[in-house]
Amino acid sequence: MHDTWIHVDQYDSGPFGKRHIQVKSFGDYAAAEAYVRSSSIPLSAYLATNGWFAITLDSTFDERMAKNLANEMKARGAIPADAYPTFGNNYVRKVSCQ
C-alpha cells in the first residue's frame, strides 16, 4: 500500500482531507528551528516518520486553495520553488520552534 493512502489518526497531520504546504525540510531540529524563527511568514515544524523535520505554512487548506496558494507564493518568491501541497500523513507531531 502506498504511504499517501494511509491516514494515521494518532499523527498530528491536521484535519482529514486538508493539505499542508511543505516549504522545506531539515535533518536536525536546530536548523528547522532557525528557519522557522527567521521566516517573515508564519511557519510550523513537524517531526516526520523519517526523522526529518518538515517545515510548512502554519495553516492547512483544501486541495484547490493549497495548489493555488503554493503556485502564487512560488511565483512571487515567498516560498521555495520546490514547495508542494501534501496531506502531511507522515507528520508524527508538531514541534515548537517559537
Q: Is position 45 within any domain?
A: yes
- pLDDT tier for residue 90 given thresholds of 50, 70 and 90: confident
Q: Is position 30 within any domain?
A: yes
Q: What is the pLDDT of residue 12?
A: 59
Q: What is the pLDDT of residue 64?
A: 97
Q: Is position 8 within any domain?
A: yes
In angstroms, what is the C-alpha Rg of the chain?
13
Cα–Cα distance for residue pair 73/42, rounded to 1 Å: 13
CATH number (domain holding residue 23): 3.30.70
pLDDT, tens only, 61-73? 999 999 999 999 9
Cα–Cα distance for residue pair 6/66, rounded to 1 Å: 20
Cα–Cα distance for residue pair 38/47, rounded to 1 Å: 19
Please state the pTM of the whole predicted model. 0.84
Range of the domain at 8: 3-93
Number of domains in the chain: 1
Residue closest to 20 by CA, chosen among 45, 51, 52: 45
pLDDT, tens only, 11-25? 556 666 789 999 999
Q: What is the pLDDT of residue 17?
A: 74
Q: Is position 98 within any domain?
A: no
